[in-house]
Amino acid sequence: MTMLLREDEGGVAVLTLNAPGSLNALSDGMLAALSGAFGALAEDRSVKVVVLRGAGRAFCAGHDLKEMQAARGAADKGAAYFADLFARCAAVMQAIPALPQPVIAEVHGIATAAGCQLVASCDMVVAAEGARFGVNGVNIGLFCSTPMVALTRKVPPGVAFEMLVTGEFLDAGRAREVGLVNRVVPAERLHEETMALARTVAGKLTAAVKVGKRAFYDQQGLGLAEAYRQTGAVMVENMLWRDTEEGIAAFLEKRAPDWKE
């Protein structure tokens, strides 16, 4: 069985975590598949938006605990294996904001622990009514320290800390309230609504979205003056493009732009 499926449709690449028996756990194999897919997408100019979804009953249940327990008992693994595992997982998470294309998580069922980290690492999230989000490792004695990194960059610190120390879940509505989720839709329309959002983004000037995504992440954490300095330079670059000139002219002339990209 192919662990990660890819289907392209009109400039949108849909990646499906395809290990439903483990609730799409982030096993060694799944992490390798995601790393390879993101590497390929970074070089694929035909793809304008990426959608990440899960097969079966859930989006992603986090790390593969059975695999981790087996590694604990193996004489040739132990601490070095776990250090490598969390480093590989962190690299996959960081690859998402580094991609030139916006990445939309399409979430149903549960997104727990590193699965919630995967959601929080995406640029936008569409969730089905009934979806639940948690960083619940504390319930088994494993604090979700690495999932915390992505989560605390998406939701208020107090909300993140409560989730981390209680192991309690947020429902889709609450997740939207605190900023983890962009849209909540009926479960039967989840893929349709996610693809509608993806197609909206794919219809924009790709180069502008690409430079804008990079600037969005680059300015985070900067002081106010430096953030304006950096983003001002991006605006200057963007304004000088032929397609931007055409977009402005088309708007003023009340017609569709003739972009050449």
Q: What confidence tens digit (pLDDT) does each residue in 229-257 have?
A: 999 999 999 999 999 999 999 999 999 99
The whole-number average pLDDT for the span 161-167 is 98
Q: So where are the chain's domains?
A: 4-202, 206-252
pLDDT of res. 261: 73
Render pLDDT for 136-156 as a digit per residue (tens, 0 to 9). 999 999 999 999 999 999 999
Average pLDDT of the residues of the chain = 95
Dig out the tokens for 88 from the structure.
């590989």
The fraction of the chain above a pLDDT of 70, given in percent, is 98
Asked whether the predicted pLDDT for residue 29 surpasses 70, the reply is: yes
Per-residue pLDDT, averaged over 70-79, amounts to 73
Q: Name the token pair of 80.
A: 């070095």
For 114-150, b where at least 16 C-beta lie within 10 A, e where not — what string?
A: bbbbbbbbbbbbbbbeebbbbbbbbeeeeebebbbeb
Q: Is the pLDDT of residue 203 over 90?
A: yes
58 Cβ contact list (under 8 Å, min separation 6) = 20, 23, 24, 108, 109, 110, 111, 115
pLDDT for 74 equals 67
Share of the chain above pLDDT 90, in %: 91
**Average of pLDDT values for 9-14?**
95
Tokens of residue 222, six digits: 């900067």
CATH 1.10.12 fits 206-252, yes or no: yes
Measured CA to CA, the distance from residue 113 to residue 53 in angstroms comes to 16
| Fold classification of 4-202 (topology level) | 2-enoyl-CoA Hydratase; Chain A, domain 1 (3.90.226)
Write the CA distances from 134 to 22, 55, 159, 185, 201, integer angstroms.
Answer: 17, 19, 11, 19, 28
User: Is pTM, for the whole model, over 0.85?
Assistant: yes
Using pLDDT thresholds of 50, 70 and 90, give the confidence band for residue 75. Answer: low
Q: How far is the first Cα of the chain from the last one, in angstroms, to the nearest whole number?
A: 37
Q: With a cut of 70, say whether residue 76 has pLDDT above it.
A: no
